[in-house]
Amino acid sequence: MKFRAKIVDPACLNHFTRVSCMVAKLARACTLRIRPQKLNFILADTAAGGGVSMWCELPQENFFSEFQMEGVSEESNEIYVELTSENLFRALKTAQNARSLKVKLTNKHFPCLTVSVELSSASNSSRMVTHDIPVKVIPRKLWKNLQEPTVPDSDVSIYLPVLKTMKSVVEKMKNISNHLIIEANLNGDLNLKIESELVCVTTHFKDLGNPPLAPKASTQDRDPEQMVEVHVDIRKFLQFLAGQQVNPTKAVCNVVSHRMVHFDLLHEDVALQYFIPALS
Amino acid sequence: MPLVPQRAPEQSDCGLVASLDNVRNLSTVLKAIHFRDHATCFATKNGIKVTVENAKCVQANAFIQAGIFQEFKVQEEPVTFRINLTVLLDCLSIFGSNPVPGNLTALRMCYQGYGYPLMLFLEEGGVVTVCKISTQEPEETLDFDFCSTNVVNKIILQSEGLREAFSELDMTSEVLQITMSPDKPYFRLSTFGNAGSSHLDYPKDSDLMESFHCNQTQVNRYKISLLKPSTKALVLSCKVSVRTDNRGFLSLQYMIRNEDGQVCFVEYYCCPDEEPPESES
């Protein structure tokens, strides 16, 4: 099992740091999956995490100038390691304005992801900063829990509004209730709603547009105005919104009535999927 | 409770209708008196008065005159109700407390009458938020009977002069002692805390002093925990008037200029704590 990769381009370095920041905000611990073409940050759905799951995928050649890997075996050329996302983000934060960044899987008494940063200084000599991030190698028998989640057929698929507006609305709503109702229809309407004894607040977003849905019998003959709703934990939704520092190139919300809400985001070449289950 | 309408009620059956192009002109003034959860609102054709009280010793009033609103109608005055101010402020700032300049939130507010909720319709950039806030039975508010004819001492200061003093008050002191006098030390704030006493004097000819009318020496003590919340108003204001009457009651009036240059007033009344000991200078 081998992995070593290098980033030299400052823009790529910046982008990679931003991705790690987003991952750190969405999941405390995550799985890094390394394949010859792609990297994934995965948060599997567990009872302890309240059923939230995340799938983030980036093509390696858009980030790394050098990339070598050797999986556990020839036929399963993959590596799965578990790490604390905050550790990776903190290591990458020191790489701002760095000349280069190397990431390597090492074994220093225990398995580590070693991040070496070459920083330029006023004099011509450069400085090296090395972070050893402890990782846990995940055995092959557990890989099956870490596969790309299948998106269930959604009842409504809708483009999301500017995430910053949504974030400030949800932040205020969180002060009043823990329980958020997300409603959407096939007419481009999305409502965020909270209800408590003291106050009911509904924010209406209009004309958002709906991406074409996979043809499904039940949606064909449905009234486009009819709302489909899902109740979620407001903190989990806010956590997702807080993780989005820049507005994504594409953001779609898929609502499965009373079961879950699925967010499908694209930041340039980084794809993020985030699932929040419905509250029972 | 009567049936709650789903849509905005017609103007004709509303006890109070008000609309505002910039919601911050309202929310800023309300933040200045937000030191308790509940507030009582009184609306007349002149505007809205919002009152917050604590411990039957301190009362804060915010006045939002009708002219601040683009539309303001009161059917049968006075319209009175009690509301959760924390919730109201959360709703008013739903689109963010620090919006991007040039991106204003507009507000339309309706209150149908006794037993009905307060309806807020907020709009920013085509996004609409509807809030339905339950109202409660109005409570009798205190009458401090603070009459301008009984005022003994009065000074008007630029707020920046008091801002630092109030934000750094020694909170280990139980009281804030205010001395106002036609002679030295003119205007003095004193605290008596664990680390010793501190006195802060403002000379009468200071640049910060806009007007100075003191007729007799008065030394009064006020519970610091009751006065501290007024810092919220102080921070937002440009001028403050400090007055005491013959009973030692304190009135602090803050002049707050909103983003459109209009002026609103917030007022705090506080009753004195006790007679200061004779020996204190």
Find, in chain A, the residue whose alpha carbon is nearest to that of B118. Answer: A199
Asked if B131 lies within 8 A of A201 by C-beta distance, the reply is yes
Q: Min CA distance, A56 vs chain B (Å)?
A: 29
d(CA A97, CA B52): 53
Asked if B90 lies within 8 A of A202 by C-beta distance, the reply is no
Partners of A234 on chain B (C-beta within 8 Å) are: none
Residue B6 confidence (pLDDT): 47
Q: Which domains does chain B have, with CATH numbers?
A: 16-136 (3.70.10.10), 151-270 (3.70.10.10)
Find, in chain A, the residue whose alpha carbon is nearest to that of B129. Answer: A203
With CA atoms as reference, report the closest residue to B251 among B265, B236, B262, B232.
Answer: B265
Asked if B129 lies within 8 A of A169 by C-beta distance, the reply is yes
Q: Min CA distance, A169 vs chain B (Å)?
A: 5
Contact A93, A83 (CB under 8 A): no
HSE toward the beta carbon, residue B71, CA cutoff 13 A:
11
DSSP category for residue B86: H
d(CA B191, CA B207): 24
Owner of token pair 């004709």: B12
With CA atoms as reference, report the closest residue to A137 among A115, A105, A114.
Answer: A105
Which of A161, A176, A197 shows the shortest C-beta gap to B127?
Answer: A161
Q: Is B127 on the interface with A (CB under 8 A)?
A: yes
With CA atoms as reference, report the closest residue to A247 among A132, A185, A162.
Answer: A162
Q: Min CA distance, B133 vs chain A (Å)?
A: 4
Q: Strand (E) positions, chain B?
A: 16-20, 38-44, 47-54, 58-65, 71-74, 79-84, 106-111, 118-124, 127-133, 151-158, 175-180, 187-193, 196-202, 209-214, 218-223, 239-245, 250-257, 263-270
Helix (H, G, I), strand (E, B) or coil at B51: strand
Evaluate the omega torsion of the peptide bond into residue A10 and state whether it is cis, within 30 degrees of 0.
Answer: no
Residue B240 confidence (pLDDT): 96
The model's pTM: 0.87
Partners of A205 on chain B (C-beta within 8 Å) are: 127
Q: Min CA distance, A191 vs chain B (Å)?
A: 9
Those residues of chain A whose CB sits closer than 8 Å to some CB in chain B are 161, 165, 168-169, 172-173, 175-176, 197-207
Residue B2 confidence (pLDDT): 44
Q: Is B123 on the interface with A (CB under 8 A)?
A: no
Query: Is CATH 2.70.170.10 the right assignment for the domain spanning A2-146?
Result: no
Mutate to test the interface with B, among A160, A167, A190, A200 (most CBs of B within 10 A): A200
Which of A172, A176, A206 shows the shortest C-beta gap to B93?
Answer: A172
For chain A, which residues make up each domain, given as ranges? Answer: 2-146, 156-277
- Please state, as a whole number, how many other Cβ atoms lie within 10 Å of the Cβ of residue A188: 15
Q: Is B126 on the interface with A (CB under 8 A)?
A: yes
Q: Return the C-alpha torsion angle B221, B222, B228, B233, nearest 10.
A: -100
Asked if A198 lies within 8 A of B131 by C-beta distance, the reply is no
Partners of A161 on chain B (C-beta within 8 Å) are: 127
Partners of B95 on chain A (C-beta within 8 Å) are: 165, 168-169
Q: Min CA distance, B194 vs chain A (Å)?
A: 36
Asked if A197 lies within 8 A of B95 by C-beta distance, the reply is no
Along the 280 residues of chain A, how does pLDDT read in single tens digits? 899 999 999 999 999 999 999 999 998 999 999 999 999 999 987 766 678 899 999 999 999 999 999 998 888 899 999 999 999 999 998 888 888 999 999 998 899 999 999 988 777 788 899 999 999 999 999 898 888 888 778 899 999 999 989 999 999 999 999 999 999 999 999 999 999 999 999 999 999 999 886 655 455 667 888 999 999 999 999 999 998 877 788 999 999 999 999 999 998 889 999 999 999 7
Mutate to test the interface with A, among B6, B82, B90, B100 (most CBs of A within 10 A): B90
Evaluate the omega torsion of the peptide bond into residue B185 and state whether it is cis, within 30 degrees of 0.
Answer: yes
- Helices in chain B by DSSP H: which ranges? 24-31, 85-92, 159-167, 224-227, 231-236
Along the 281 residues of chain B, how does pLDDT read in single tens digits? 444 444 554 556 788 999 999 999 999 999 999 999 999 999 999 999 999 999 888 999 999 999 999 999 998 878 999 999 999 999 999 998 776 677 889 999 999 999 999 999 999 989 999 999 999 999 899 999 999 899 999 999 999 989 988 888 888 999 999 999 999 899 999 999 998 999 999 998 888 999 999 999 999 999 999 999 999 999 999 999 999 999 999 999 999 998 889 999 999 999 998 765 665 54
Tell me, which fold does domain A156-277 have in CATH?
A: Proliferating Cell Nuclear Antigen (3.70.10)
Asked if A203 lies within 8 A of B129 by C-beta distance, the reply is yes
Residue at A66: amino acid letter: E
Which of B126, B128, B132 shows the shortest C-beta gap to A199?
Answer: B132
Find, in chain A, the residue whose alpha carbon is nearest to that of B97. Answer: A168
Helices A85-93 and A10-26 sit at what angle, rounded to 10 degrees? 150
Say whether A156-277 and A2-146 share the same fold. Answer: yes
Asked if A201 lies within 8 A of B130 by C-beta distance, the reply is yes
Question: Residues 61-90, chain B: which have Cβ within 8 Å of A?
Answer: 84, 86-87, 90
Residue B103 confidence (pLDDT): 80
Asked if B95 lies within 8 A of A168 by C-beta distance, the reply is yes
Asked if A198 lies within 8 A of B90 by C-beta distance, the reply is no
